[in-house]
Amino acid sequence: MSRIDDLFADLRRRQHKAFMPFVTAGDPDLDFTAEVIRELDRRGCSICEVGIPYSDPIADGPVIQASYTRALAKKIKLREILAMLGRVSRDVKMPLVTMVSYAIVYRYGLEKYVAEAKAAGVSGAIVPDLLVEESAQLAAICKQADFNLIQLVTPTTPRDRAVRIAQSSTGFLYYVSVTGITGERTELPPALLENVGWLRTQTQLPICIGFGISQPEHVKLLAPVADGLIVGSAIVRRVADAATKPRPAVLTDVGAYATTLLGALP
């Protein structure tokens, strides 16, 4: 079992849910990214998703797009991100996963990416643009390395296809709560609970919900049907304040926000 498998098994025994923050690697710089990850771990977060900046956003809203643009403008390199994760993974309890475009993994080399990410202490990868029809090779490499391959199901995914995606995923299944891009929202779709409830009948994988979650009310609504909740834009927006505010204050703000959402979980 991977660290992620162990985490969800423990959470289920204790009837707790996972809180999963997202941060962009290298915004405003890699040293501060590492500080943010450590702060989120101290606050009790379960898993940290680390976004690998990419020039062609897949489903990222303006907040995350802007963070990727800022990181790329500094000529950040994948090997530098992995080196940072190798340092910080020794300091934190929570597993780390990368959110990474398949184009990056493919150019880097599938086996090389998995091997180097795992050597850096990373437990898995979310690959949002990997088609299930083309996932077999990477899935096999990940399985051999005990490295989780996490894939996405959306509200518009046909149900037969959603089952195929679940069958080719490991660690957990990422359910996209809304049709569209990432970003903070005041309301979530009324069909969300029904869709996730159906998906739960089709897979034994933990189901974690992301996109649009930013308020304690969202957490309270979704926690009964989800195994974990993913929050990205609201955290990335707060981290971006490091460009104009003292970094200790930004860390405190990010940590306090995470604590507020953690407090809404059962």
Q: How much is the pLDDT for 58?
A: 67
60 is a catalytic site residue: yes
Q: How much is the pLDDT for 177?
A: 78
* Token reading at 117: 């990410």
- Give every CB contact of residue 152 below 8 A, 6+ residues apart in sequence: 126, 128, 165, 174, 175, 176
41 is a catalytic site residue: no
In the block, tokens 């199901």 appear at 153
Which residue among the candidates 27, 41, 60, 227 is catalytic per the annotation? 60
- Give every CB contact of residue 23 below 8 A, 6+ residues apart in sequence: 33, 36, 37, 40, 48, 49, 50, 51, 235, 236, 239
- Domains of the chain (ranges plus CATH)? 3-151+226-257 (3.20.20.70)
Q: How much is the pLDDT for 155?
A: 87
Distance CA 41, CA 56 (A): 30
Q: How much is the pLDDT for 23?
A: 97
* Token reading at 184: 């903070």
Q: How much is the pLDDT for 149?
A: 98
Which residue among the candidates 27, 35, 49, 116 is catalytic per the annotation? 49
CA-based R_g, the chain, Å: 17
The one-digit pLDDT tens for each residue of the chain (266 residues) are 799 999 999 999 999 999 999 999 999 999 999 999 999 999 999 999 999 999 876 656 789 999 999 999 999 999 999 999 999 999 999 999 999 999 999 999 999 999 999 999 999 999 999 999 999 999 999 999 999 999 999 888 999 999 999 999 999 999 997 654 343 434 555 677 888 889 999 999 999 999 778 889 889 888 888 999 999 899 999 999 999 999 999 999 999 999 999 999 98
